[in-house]
Structure 1
Amino acid sequence: MNFILYDGIEWKNLFPITLTRPVSEIRLGLFTIKERWEKYIGVKAVDIITQPFLSKKYSLVKKEYFTNILLINSSFLPNEELIKIILSLKENEAIFFKKKIVVIKKSFFSYKENIISLKEKNYKKIYNIKNIVHIQHTWDIFINNESVLKKDFMFFTKGKKSFSLLGKNNNILCKEKIFLEEDIIANNIVLNAQLGPIYIEKGVDIMEGSVIRGPVSIGKKATLNIGSKIYGGTSIGSFCKVGGEIINSIIFSYSNKAHDGFLGNAILGTWCNLGAGTNISNLRNDYRKITVWNYEKKNFIPINLQFFGLIMGDHSKSAINTQFNTATTVGVNTNIFGYGFPPRYIPSFSLGGIQNSKKISFDRVCETAKIVMNRRNVIFSIVDKKILEYLYQLLNI
């Protein structure tokens, strides 16, 4: 069954995380959205339809059209009920959630079609699904992470055998809800799955005194430094280095929060680094609901949330002892330092903190990205440079 994942109108609502990736590359639970769809359906996606400036990196094929194809809105997460309906779809039938397209089955699809403009009246039959996770805003990612992580664990560990820890004097609580891949090194740690499952991928190094309280996911070859405290609702990507206190947060691959400090109800993109002593407030002192930056309105808007920490785009960094206020949004490739609290919205490519009117030169942007990525044996490609160059020329992102 061939399928294409496409970016709907949700892509713009998920800035700054989607400034550098399609919606399908967002990580929550155990996987990215793309990986999750591929595991549920059982085959690889044949293409990703996203913004033109991202297509050279993320598009999979160069065909002009497809036949007998499923078109799937990437902002929806698959579940068993949805997959059953998908398997029964016939030509020109669709699945909707609250009048929004989830899946379309077409006998012929050309890239000239405008997917977003398609309406209910265009289909022979429409199925409506009532229960589905829809990622429409950045905060939907950490709000849903705990429940998605639990479902992922149940679905993808069924019938599989867990490995054992390579270490001594470890305290394991509720072992049946813990799944370990091979070559995990750990001594004198605590894994507590009484409140939710713990999934740890291969090659993870968990240093002494670390405590993990599920539901939590740790990606391959990640490192947890001495005394790390990882609370529920947290997903840490591959090759990350983390430490301190983390709760209900998603850290994309190759990002670091290696030192003491608090991170809660937050998302870090890839290639981010939080300097030693960086702390993030996830609750206002007066306990009121928060406001968050809206890229389209270019202003802060109220939302019905009390706990909200930080949303940080790819390649952004904070200096030691940086203190972020509740519900701060940081763009792509920022370099944050200086006295006092940084602003609650920091545009991409900004240099400084309160004094953030200065813009990093594009040569320095590329130079830093190349150095950081080379340290992990990853090449800063021409395509990566083109994406950052496109964003650099935009205003207020």
Structure 2
Amino acid sequence: MNFILYDGIEWKKLFPITLTRPVSEIRLGLFTIKERWEKYIGKNVNHIMTQPFLSKKYSKKKYSFFENVFLINSSFLPNEELIKILLSLKENETIFFKEKMIAIKKNFFSEKEDLLPLYLNKCQKTYHVKRVIHIQYPWDIFINNETILKKDFMFFTKGKKSFSLLGKNYVLCKEEIFLEEDIKANNVVLNAKLGPIYIEKGVKIMEGSIIRGPVAIGNNTILNMGSKIYGGTTIAAFCKVGGEIFNSVIFSYSNKVHDGFLGNSILGEWCNLGAGTNISNLRNDYQKVTIWNYEKKDFVPTNLQFIGIIMGDHSKSAINTQFNTATIVGVGDSIFGYGFPSRYIPSFCLGGIQMKKRISFNKVCETVEIVMNRRNINFSILDKKILEYLYQLLDI
């Protein structure tokens, strides 16, 4: 059997997070979407079908065709019901959620084949699932993160034994806390009464920090002194965080080291929030928020009251930067200056309120290389080509 995850129409709706990655590389709960599918089906995903400029990095296997293949829309998250139906599919049978196709079984499939006819053609048999989590917009990531964290914790820790936490610490509801090896913590509070806490290997939690589940902390991440991590939060590997974080997802290698509030937000990889950066997640009049839509190139209404910031990879804010409710920040931005920046900041912009100046591509690459080298990571040719492709586009 071959399992292929493909990017559907949701890829564009998930900007700026998916500007630099396929949908399947979005992280929420304990895993990326790709990792979660692999754990549920019990084997590796064979192929990722994504945008051509991302394919060389994320679609490493180049086959002309696949046999006995399951095509799965990456924006849907697996569950037990879905997996049971998926593995029972026969040729041209499909799974739908409402009017949207989740998966189809094909005996033969070429990666050059257009996926659109799969949606339009009548199939031999269609199964419908009643409940499934569908990630269509960036805010779906943090909205669903608490629920997914709880499910991931139950699924992944079943039958496994947690390591013990050394040092003088205050632990509530120990049975809902899972610790991997080599975690360093002293004089911290872990409160799992409202949801589980999962901490991966090599994490360092400095004194005075408080974690209130459900929370996931990725390997080798550092929590600074007095960090306050609230429920519904995922912090991926190799991050450095501090201050107050609520119901947010921080991708790998990003920093929010200092005091300041981050709530109902998403930070991509290699982001940095300067000291005193604060993000508003609620309007003063408590009204539902509008947010930038990349396809319509305008602000559109949502049915949400709480949205903070959604920041693409490699973007940075200077000290004391203040972000308004429901701000979208693109890729590779450098934000500084007085006042509130615009609620939509296109990629590769420099400055504050006006954000009219574009950073030269050479400067973008120079900064990225310095930042990545500090973590002993190579700024690869493939990464550079992805940024170069995006740089040549307008209004992203």
In the other structure, the counterpart of 1:106 is: 106
Answer yes or no: is the 8 Å Cα contact 1:5–1:48 preserved in 2.
Answer: yes
Which one is further off, 106-115 or 236-245? Answer: 106-115
Answer yes or no: is the 8 Å Cα contact 1:8–1:116 preserved in 2.
Answer: no
In the other structure, the counterpart of 2:69 is: 69
SS of 2:355's partner is coil
Alignment of 1:109-124 (within 5 A): 109-119=109-119, 121-124=121-124
Q: Deviations over 1:128-153 (max 9, x none)?
A: 11100000001111100000110000
Query: TM-score when scaled to structure 2?
Result: 0.99
In the other structure, the counterpart of 2:56 is: 56
SS of 1:122's partner is coil
Alignment of 1:170-189 (within 5 A): 170-189=169-188
Answer yes or no: is the 8 Å Cα contact 2:315–2:332 preserved in 1.
Answer: yes
Does residue 134 (structure 1) correspond to residue 134 (structure 2)? The answer is yes
Q: Which runs of 4+ in 1 moved over 6 A?
A: none
Letter in 2 for 1:383: L
Letter in 1 for 2:41: I
> Which whole-Å CA distance do the structure 2 matches of 1:106 and 1:68 have between them?
6
Answer yes or no: is the 8 Å Cα contact 1:120–1:126 preserved in 2.
Answer: no
In the other structure, the counterpart of 2:328 is: 329
In the other structure, the counterpart of 2:380 is: 381
Q: C-alpha displacement at 1:122, in angstroms?
A: 3.0
- Gaps spanning 5+ residues in structure 2: where? none
In the other structure, the counterpart of 1:32 is: 32
> Which whole-Å CA distance do the structure 1 matches of 2:188 and 2:174 have between them?
14
Q: C-alpha displacement at 1:90, in angstroms?
A: 1.2
RMSD after superposition: 0.7
Letter in 2 for 1:135: I
Q: C-alpha displacement at 1:60, in angstroms?
A: 2.7
Q: C-alpha displacement at 1:92, in angstroms?
A: 1.4
> Which whole-Å CA distance do the structure 2 matches of 1:150 and 1:380 have between them?
35
Letter in 2 for 1:163: F
SS of 2:248's partner is strand
Alignment of 1:127-276 (within 5 A): 127-166=127-166, 168-276=167-275
Letter in 2 for 1:66: F
Letter in 2 for 1:285: N
Q: C-alpha displacement at 1:120, in angstroms?
A: 5.7
Letter in 2 for 1:23: V
In the other structure, the counterpart of 1:86 is: 86
Q: Deviations over 1:328-351 (max 9, x none)?
A: 000000000001001100000000
SS of 1:271's partner is coil
Q: Deviations over 1:281-319 (max 9, x none)?
A: 000000000000000111100000000000000000000
> Which whole-Å CA distance do the structure 2 matches of 1:293 and 1:259 have between them?
28
Answer yes or no: is the 8 Å Cα contact 1:9–1:116 preserved in 2.
Answer: no
Answer yes or no: is the 8 Å Cα contact 1:99–1:120 preserved in 2.
Answer: no
> Which whole-Å CA distance do the structure 1 matches of 2:117 and 2:273 have between them?
41
Q: Deviations over 1:208-255 (max 9, x none)?
A: 000000000000000000000000000000000000000000000000
Answer yes or no: is the 8 Å Cα contact 1:217–1:234 preserved in 2.
Answer: yes
Letter in 2 for 1:104: I
In the other structure, the counterpart of 2:12 is: 12
Q: C-alpha displacement at 1:355, in angstroms?
A: 2.6
Letter in 1 for 2:92: N
Answer yes or no: is the 8 Å Cα contact 2:194–2:212 preserved in 1.
Answer: yes
Q: Deviations over 1:95-149 (max 9, x none)?
A: 0111211011110001221113422643111101110000000111110000011
Q: What is the number of equivalent residue pairs in this alignment? A: 396
Letter in 2 for 1:268: L
Q: Deviations over 1:44-87 (max 9, x none)?
A: 11110000000010003111000001101000000011011112
Letter in 2 for 1:359: R
SS of 2:87's partner is helix
> Which whole-Å CA distance do the structure 1 matches of 2:338 and 2:112 have between them?
51
Query: TM-score when scaled to structure 1?
Result: 0.99
> Which whole-Å CA distance do the structure 2 matches of 1:19 and 1:209 have between them?
37
> Which whole-Å CA distance do the structure 2 matches of 1:85 and 1:120 have between them?
21
